Structure 1
Amino acid sequence: MDLFNSLVWLPFLLLLPLLLIFKKKTQHVNKELKNLPPSPPKVPIIGNLHQLGALPHSSLSQLASKYGPLMLLHLGRIPVLIVSSADAAKEVLKVNDLACCSRPKLTGVGRLSYNYIDVAFSPYNEYWRELRKLCVLEIFSVKRVKSFRFVREDEVGSLMDFISQSASSSPTDPVNLTEKVFAFSGSIIFRTAYGKSFRGSEFDRRKFYELIHDAETVAGAFCYDECFPGFGWIVDWISGHKGRVDRVFRKLDTLFQQLIEDHRKPERTKHEDDIIDVMLGIQKKQIEEHGHAWITKNHIKAILLNMFLGGIDTSALTVIWAMAELMRKPPLMKKAQAEVRGIVGKKKGRVPETDLDQLQYVKLIIKETLRLHPPAPLLLPRESISHFKINGFNIYPKTLIQVNAWAIGRDPKYWKNPEEFSPDRFIEDTMDSKVQRFELLSFGGGRRGCPGMYMGTVASEHLLANLLYCFDWALPAGTKEADVNMEEQTGQCLTLSKKTPLLLVPISQASH
């Protein structure tokens, strides 16, 4: 019996050391798990959603001032790392870029392109790398962007003619510059991507911009399915959000399908290749060389969608904010106009794109505008694909990562008088323009950096230079510089819009 009792206890005696080792390891793991970035107190179920506010980038900046540049929030059931300093952004976008370069499937524009393999919004994989290479080397290359110079100059000339006619016929009436600049930007993207012009076209400009507005609204709207996986879709379905996304997607898909089919018609006449021509040409070449093409119709639609949503707002908003800031500081306006008019002279009538390299102060204005009013105040979110550490804190897979470019651009650690609009702060800037600036993240960084950066900046510089060259500008009667409303638009998650339209009175140089 004694021997039997000893044999009964023997397995437990052998397991005891293993249990002690497991307990010690578990305690170590728990200790490691606790080493997370600081977090504001959260509410059951909704987490920190109630702390986002009407302007999330501003609310997150205020929270970061209390909890630090690395802050962990919980939006429903999703952990989100908020990055609010240039040093922390460097860790995410450069040092640990590979560990956190994926995209959540449903975030942002992914809701509109869930049927597309989307170049900018898809998870990190071989398809994404190939499409990224295609965008950088072919679609958005400097050579390709320069080939569309005739489009930009034609649209600039058309806008300048309209403003000039307005100044002649109604000298004291203001022009809604916000409306006109958005139309200008939309026309450029439409012609560049699709080879179509609104003038004399079957496409209705008003319906086109309505579709843009609807797409941006659903792409930036709150989605319960993201924050409450498994049951949030029910709320989205009841609220009508899913139905709105589906309707906008069908309209976009119909437009893209029509454009692609038009480009495949043998009787189609063209003067220059547009973006669809380029992609169809690559597809044809792949079929000839390999017998098949990995770039499909859905790849083409995905790239068109990114141009559609990413190319119009960014250029337009930059020019609108720049003009608003210059109207509040007449000496800066005069300095910029003196540069443009001194270099271009009076003979050309317009500022040609070839003169932009000489307009250094205009470039500084654009740079300062992007610092103070980044078109995308929160960079499009990333998703970590493996564990890594930042400043000793653990970041685990499936964590969303949101970089607050707006907060970084106003951080007093990097900028003197950060709330002041001062292009002159960049005059003595000796940093190589080709080096990634983590205190200036208007176009993101790392593998997910915007491939269309050159296309966006050249359009902004060209339009701003012509607005400064062709006209003097006055505020509507009874309005002073201090009255210019600089409030940001609430309810926008993707872009940083000016809350009120910019109304200015153009004064033609010929009238002086």
Structure 2
Amino acid sequence: MEMIIISPCLTTILALLLFKQLLERTATKINLPPSPWRLPVIGNLHQLSLHPHRSLRSLSFRYGPLMLLHFGRVPVLVVSSSDVAHDIMKTHDFKVANRPKLKVVEKFMNGGRDVAFSPYGEYWRHIKSVCVIHLLSKKMVQSFEKVREEEISLMMESVEKASSSTSPLNLSELLMTLTSDVTSRVSLGRKHSNEESMSEFKNQVRAIMELVGGFPVGEYIPCLAWIDKLNGLDDKLKESSETFGGLMDKVVQEHVEADKPTHDLVDIMLSLERQKKNGIEVRRSDIKFIILDMFLGGTTTTYALLEWIMTELIRHPVRMKKLQEEIRTKATSGTNLYRSQEDVEGMKYLKAVIKEGLRLHPPFPLLVPRLLTEDVNLRGCDIAAGTQVIVNAWAIQRDTVSWGTDAE
């Protein structure tokens, strides 16, 4: 008897929701971007696959490079062409300069007090300028040449040792160690790869990349937040936060207790803690997450690119042979296996390989989401404030309009 009553009620509710959507579409006079039909409650979430950048690209083939989706209650603008991306990030830059408040950021990045996710404003400009001047400027990058040479030489010794004994070598693990050691030395003062905690740290790097690039159900449909707990997302988030946070706490404490400063990025950030500039306060907890940003940014992006380039070279042995010949013949450093920055400057094919690797396999297929803070008219379409903006870099870099019919 109860089922007989419940079934008509559910049918009525669904019908009303669908009717409401239909009324909204017909009654409004604003010109919205093309959008696929969405389901009640979940919107277009059901159209995302395990590889969201691929499914969003497939949808863009039908609905165009400027497409409006709804992930639960959140409107999401998806950009899939370089022209539209230019309009968003250049013409309307200030209107999309902010980041949405994401669950992962709130729990993992102290609510967005780091560089990547902090709100646009004086605090963000201040910490960004510090990181650029003391770590990312051309002068600083060139000053780290000796560090890179030492770590690359150690890696090559491992490869040579493995090849001479015909023992298998985990190249992914080797590349991860290389990038984390270089980044550790230039930003944290020393490398931590030999420590037991670093082993677990490496395991969590992939996990946090997946978390940042994912679409948690609870983020868009609060009433279904229990699904994130059920599928283990909350546990992964907690584990990664504790692992990264523990290592960063240890690094900061080492610098605080050190007899002599090493004048690396941690020391520079700690000096900011003791001073206020233009009323901006940098707290100890902020320093931890700013350093974590630099470490993740320097490690995961480089490591992911190197792994993909090696994968593509193995797939294309003729290209690999051509690259090997260039590296062996255009070196000026004699019998030394290491190739200096001066050697690399003349290696055109090597540069082409790296650029093609970046084009086909961007480390972040979907760029970090932005948040529209004002209404905007983009290419004749009206987009409301509060809309999240996702730029599909993976789709843009395989767009046949820009790259020709053989873009793949």
TM class by shorter chain equals: 0.7 to 0.9
Match of 1:467 in 2: none
Measure how far apart 1:215 and its partner are.
3.1
Q: State the superposition RMSD in angstroms.
A: 2.6
2:251 aligned with 1:264: no
- Determine the C-alpha separation between the residues in 2 that align with 1:326 and 1:250: 37
Picking from 375, 378, 396, the partner of 1:387 is 375
Q: Deviations over 1:143-187 (max 9, x none)?
A: 2222222221111011100110111111xx543322211221122
- Determine the C-alpha separation between the residues in 2 that align with 1:281 and 1:262: 14
- How many matched pairs? 383
2:151 aligned with 1:155: yes
- The one-letter code of the counterpart of 1:47 is G
- Determine the C-alpha separation between the residues in 1 that align with 2:48 and 2:203: 28
Match of 2:319 in 1: 332
2:367 aligned with 1:376: no
- The one-letter code of the counterpart of 2:299 is I
Q: Contact 1:116 / 1:301 at 8 angstroms: preserved in 2? A: no
Change (3 A) 1:280 1:36: same
- Determine the C-alpha separation between the residues in 2 that align with 1:55 and 1:253: 28
Q: Contact 1:110 / 1:121 at 8 angstroms: preserved in 2? A: no
Match of 1:408 in 2: 396
Unaligned 5+ residue runs, structure 2? Answer: 1-23
- Determine the C-alpha separation between the residues in 2 that align with 1:82 and 1:164: 46
Q: Contact 2:305 / 2:357 at 8 angstroms: preserved in 1? A: yes
| 1:254-403 matches, cutoff 5 A | 254-268=246-260, 270=262, 273-283=263-273, 286=275, 294-345=281-332, 346-403=334-391
Match of 2:172 in 1: 178
- The one-letter code of the counterpart of 1:328 is R
- Determine the C-alpha separation between the residues in 2 that align with 1:85 and 1:311: 27
Measure how far apart 1:129 and its partner are.
2.0
- Determine the C-alpha separation between the residues in 1 that align with 2:51 and 2:252: 38
2:179 aligned with 1:191: no
Q: Deviations over 1:328-385 (max 9, x none)?
A: 3333223222222222143333112343222222111111111111111111110101
- Determine the C-alpha separation between the residues in 2 that align with 1:418 and 1:37: 29
Q: Contact 1:318 / 1:370 at 8 angstroms: preserved in 2? A: yes
- Determine the C-alpha separation between the residues in 2 that align with 1:384 and 1:79: 10
SS at match of 2:401: coil
Change (3 A) 1:311 1:109: farther
Higher mean C-alpha deviation, range 361-370 or range 292-301: 292-301
Change (3 A) 1:372 1:244: closer
The two structures have a TM-score, normalised by structure 2, of 0.86
- The one-letter code of the counterpart of 1:80 is V
- Determine the C-alpha separation between the residues in 2 that align with 1:31 and 1:257: 52
Q: Contact 1:106 / 1:114 at 8 angstroms: preserved in 2? A: no
Structure number with the higher helix fraction is 2
- Determine the C-alpha separation between the residues in 2 that align with 1:223 and 1:413: 33
| 1:206-221 matches, cutoff 5 A | 206-221=199-214
Match of 2:127 in 1: 131
Higher mean C-alpha deviation, range 97-106 or range 334-343: 334-343
Measure how far apart 1:204 and its partner are.
3.8
Change (3 A) 1:237 1:247: same
Higher mean C-alpha deviation, range 156-165 or range 353-362: 353-362
Q: Contact 2:261 / 2:267 at 8 angstroms: preserved in 1? A: no
Match of 2:71 in 1: 75
- Determine the C-alpha separation between the residues in 2 that align with 1:72 and 1:179: 40
- Determine the C-alpha separation between the residues in 2 that align with 1:125 and 1:362: 39
Measure how far apart 1:188 and its partner are.
1.8
- The one-letter code of the counterpart of 2:367 is L
Q: Contact 1:386 / 1:397 at 8 angstroms: preserved in 2? A: yes
The two structures have a TM-score, normalised by structure 1, of 0.69
Measure how far apart 1:305 and its partner are.
2.1
Picking from 37, 41, 62, the partner of 2:37 is 41
- Determine the C-alpha separation between the residues in 2 that align with 1:216 and 1:198: 20
Q: Contact 1:47 / 1:77 at 8 angstroms: preserved in 2? A: yes
- Determine the C-alpha separation between the residues in 1 that align with 2:388 and 2:310: 35
Q: Contact 2:179 / 2:302 at 8 angstroms: preserved in 1? A: yes
- Determine the C-alpha separation between the residues in 2 that align with 1:69 and 1:61: 9
Q: Contact 2:77 / 2:388 at 8 angstroms: preserved in 1? A: yes
Match of 1:485 in 2: none
- Determine the C-alpha separation between the residues in 2 that align with 1:324 and 1:243: 32
Q: Contact 2:71 / 2:220 at 8 angstroms: preserved in 1? A: yes
- The one-letter code of the counterpart of 1:182 is M
SS at match of 1:71: strand
Unaligned 5+ residue runs, structure 1? Answer: 1-26, 421-512
2:156 aligned with 1:168: no
Q: Contact 2:374 / 2:385 at 8 angstroms: preserved in 1? A: yes
Change (3 A) 1:116 1:378: closer
- The one-letter code of the counterpart of 2:265 is I
Higher mean C-alpha deviation, range 340-349 or range 401-410: 340-349
2:115 aligned with 1:119: yes
Measure how far apart 1:87 and its partner are.
0.8
Measure how far apart 1:37 and its partner are.
0.5
Q: Contact 1:195 / 1:274 at 8 angstroms: preserved in 2? A: yes
Measure how far apart 1:278 and its partner are.
2.7
Change (3 A) 1:319 1:238: closer
The higher radius of gyration belongs to 1
Q: Deviations over 1:370-425 (max 9, x none)?
A: 111111111111010101111100111110100111111111101124444xxxxx
Q: Percent identity?
A: 37
Measure how far apart 1:266 and its partner are.
4.0
Match of 1:251 in 2: 243
Change (3 A) 1:414 1:116: closer
